[in-house]
Structure 1
């Protein structure tokens, strides 16, 4: 553990960032090994759940040490930083996409990235950007995080003192939102791609897991095959994996999938965080926690690099958003040659890792120059 941090949390945040980058590059062969190809959930669920975990873990300690109002102020300050980063990142992304579009003649990258609104209605697009209604492709997770973190400033005391009550209210809102059509406004189809009114449940569950992790509990010493919850979760993961893999062969899928099950299962909404996606992620998180209860496996060199990326998730995520259209441009210029696709995917991860290493070096230099006994900012633990 580093400075009170659980390296497993950092590792899976870093791994989610790698998967998000690979998933954002069209036709990337390494995108075939990301989480979305082996179950109903994907890296987005990992990102949101662990964001809730890290945020509640960090700011609940601030609240206990300095009081609610100071914790609230620091949450809102962090939210403002994320908002400013979103504005500048969007401007940078648009510049990169317009540049790439001038060099790729075979595709309309502006349309593919959802930037047509800026071309046709630039003044309105600027207003929509400030109101978080204009969210081109690749940008959706950050506005979602901004809204969820802002909401944490209100519910943090209840999260700490009445965790189950907050989960109950959050679950009720999650279940009612699709039925009532609750979502936030956006351009294009009129709603947010990641509906914060449903995705808040995953953020809350992450925060609840953080609170639970700080309380002593008696471990279940029974072998895993004799633990009913583990067995049920593992079976669900296997079934979901088989169904997901069958999507690669639509004819076979349609032939073997019972009509009743198909009508119940589809469509699997990512916008409203379909229950089968939510349950799949929770099962995956539970099985992973059971199979990897210790931290020793995070001590090897490769895992430490991934953990380092997870410690600086905001900066690494932003770099991944910038690199994805650049990788797409280079792949298109090379006629989507597999060698180029693999090269850009791997170089992108190396650059993301290099940024995390640079951030870590800067942090150590700042710590060396800090006065003895001066604490680090809590935001450094809530990244």
Structure 2
């Protein structure tokens, strides 16, 4: 049965949201400590993988309890909510960017955010927005999630019964997509920045991990350093970190990297989820799962705040998208002073955490009111 909630998933979803916000603010010094600086993958892989994990965990339980059609209806209803949120979020983002651009004289934030298409062709841009073809900077993850979630009813029953068969088909599509040129059309780059035909593999793997995690497994008694898969995953993660850090010093990178390896390694495509990115994320996820097998550490206060953000990932993500251009504006007005950069980065996270706290307070309040209404009248009059 797919039941229960792992607070570690909420924690890493919340941490990914923090990293995404920091990565979206140009020249942010705290962006130097995010995942993309210590390996080939970044917070986007974490977000998509855990989205698949959470979706299969939630809707798999609905399918087992209420049947396929009810589960499909709830999935498609959620996808529709995400679509409406996407349209509303894009409208708010454009308003904020235009406001910020009117206050910053040294840069063209409209162009940097990819909103030139709306300025030059507003009517066509509105149509492209409804078709998910107009996606300015910061807006790519949500349309990807909409498409992946919309396709979940097609694979969920098979994923629950024949998990590895679905993974094999998903892997085949992933390998064929770059060779065949499969992607969706979009404005600016011509195709989606996050190719859903390749990124679907990470979503499916997240769902497969959720199913695998709910099955009983014998305890591993060997030390981690005696487990070949752990050693290989840790070694690859360390190698990726060394190469990524070497990018900061091109002369060091060129000295360390032989020509034959560079030819095979680069370019590392994020659009098509390059195999080295995919393997790096899977290796990092495996090492993390082995090093943190229990959830007791999530009870600490700071971890609890991060977990709360992960529980309300959609709302917190949307707020982070809106806060990023505002933080960029404040930094530009202050001449990109280090103190302001640190303040805007930390203030944004505080606001994201405050939103999650407010949402949880309202949820608990609604639960108490509902429980109170369900009590018999005689009990309330005592």
Describe the superposition over 1:346-371 as per-residue Cα deviations: whole angstroms up to 9, x where unpaired: 00000000000000001101111224
Match of 1:143 in 2: 143
User: Is 1:257 paired with 2:257?
Assistant: yes
- Between the aligned partners of 2:288 and 2:180, the Cα distance in structure 1 is 34
Aligned length: 372
1:85-104 matches, cutoff 5 A? 85-104=85-104
- Between the aligned partners of 1:104 and 1:254, the Cα distance in structure 2 is 38
TM-score (norm: length of structure 2): 0.96
Match of 1:179 in 2: 179
Match of 1:23 in 2: 23
Match of 1:160 in 2: 160
Match of 1:224 in 2: 224
State the Cα distance separating 1:219 from its structure 2 match. Answer: 2.1
- Between the aligned partners of 2:238 and 2:373, the Cα distance in structure 1 is 50
1:228-243 matches, cutoff 5 A? 228-243=228-243
1:17-96 matches, cutoff 5 A? 17-96=17-96
State the Cα distance separating 1:26 from its structure 2 match. Answer: 0.1
Moved >4 Å (runs of 4+): 371-374
User: Is 1:319 paired with 2:316?
Assistant: no
- Between the aligned partners of 1:117 and 1:340, the Cα distance in structure 2 is 31
Match of 2:113 in 1: 113
Match of 1:281 in 2: 281
State the Cα distance separating 1:182 from its structure 2 match. Answer: 0.4
State the Cα distance separating 1:292 from its structure 2 match. Answer: 0.4
Match of 2:380 in 1: none
- Between the aligned partners of 1:162 and 1:286, the Cα distance in structure 2 is 22
Match of 1:207 in 2: 207
Describe the superposition over 1:151-177 as per-residue Cα deviations: whole angstroms up to 9, x where unpaired: 002111011011111000000000000
Match of 1:340 in 2: 340
- Between the aligned partners of 1:112 and 1:338, the Cα distance in structure 2 is 21
Describe the superposition over 1:101-149 as per-residue Cα deviations: whole angstroms up to 9, x where unpaired: 0000000000000000000000000000000000000000000000000
Q: Which moved more, 1:208-217 or 1:248-257?
A: 248-257
TM-score (norm: length of structure 1): 0.96
Compare CA radii of gyration and give the structure with the larger one.
2
The CA RMSD over aligned residues, in Å, is 1.1
* Partner SS state of residue 71, structure 2: helix
Unaligned runs of 5+ in 1: 375-383
* Partner SS state of residue 294, structure 2: coil
1:265-304 matches, cutoff 5 A? 265-304=265-304
State the Cα distance separating 1:373 from its structure 2 match. Answer: 11
Unaligned runs of 5+ in 2: 375-382
- Between the aligned partners of 1:274 and 1:58, the Cα distance in structure 2 is 29
